[in-house]
Amino acid sequence: MKTLIVYDSYFGNTEQIARAIAAAFDPGECLGVIRVDEVVPEQLAAADLLIAGSPTRAFRPSDGTRAFLKNLPAGALAGRSVAAFDTRLDAEQAPSALLKFLVKLFGYAAKPIAGGLAKKGGRVVAEPEGFLVDGSEGPLREGELERAENWARSVRAAAAG
């Protein structure tokens, strides 16, 4: 199954997760791990499965990720499987009760990314997933790279099934 992994990243954490996700696919299956602003239409056209991820910024996907989703032509993902992920802070460790409340209220990037992919015709094959960073610029929490690779295996199986 030809798979394209698209990500945005400011500090490198989401890029690391995207590369861990790629490790779950055979090299011949993976069309690339491409930054949102570098994706070309031919890459999308060749993909059976698109996995897209972004850092959570102010409770939503990054500007680049939102632009990528918005600029996808209507129906661009018809017939394709899609899945979304993000990186995020652990709400349980938010420095204030207000912030914890806001995080729980407004959520994270992965769900709106999945919604954006579905809006362009994609078939969402997995629950949106979040991977934790320990500070606002990272690093990734221990074990998250392995969890990302395992999540990608389940996405791959769901897309194939």
Ligand X SMILES: Cc1cc2nc3c(=O)[nH]c(=O)nc-3n(C[C@H](O)[C@H](O)[C@H](O)COP(=O)(O)O)c2cc1C
> Residue 139 — φ and ψ, nearest 5°?
-80, 175
Asked if 137 is part of the footprint of ligand X (rule: CB under 6 A), the reply reads: yes
The 84-123 site mask, x for binding ligand X (CB under 6 A), equals ---xxx-------------x----x---------------
Whole-angstrom distance, CA of residue 36 vs CA of residue 119:
17
The 13-52 site mask, x for binding ligand X (CB under 6 A), equals xxx-------------------------------------
Asked if 9 is part of the footprint of ligand X (rule: CB under 6 A), the reply reads: yes
Asked if 65 is part of the footprint of ligand X (rule: CB under 6 A), the reply reads: no
Shortest Cβ 136–ligand X spacing (Å): 4
**Out of 113, 126, 133, 152, the residue judged to bind ligand X by CB under 6 A:** 133
Could you tell me the sign of the dihedral formed by the alpha carbons of 90, 5, 24, 152, in that order?
positive
Whole-angstrom distance, CA of residue 120 vs CA of residue 122:
6
In the chain, the largest separation of any two C-alpha atoms, in whole Å, equals 47
Q: Are 44 and 92 in contact (CB under 8 A)?
A: no
Omega before residue 139 within 30° of 0, cis: yes
Residues that bind ligand X (CB under 6 A): 9-15, 55-59, 87-89, 103, 108, 133, 136-138
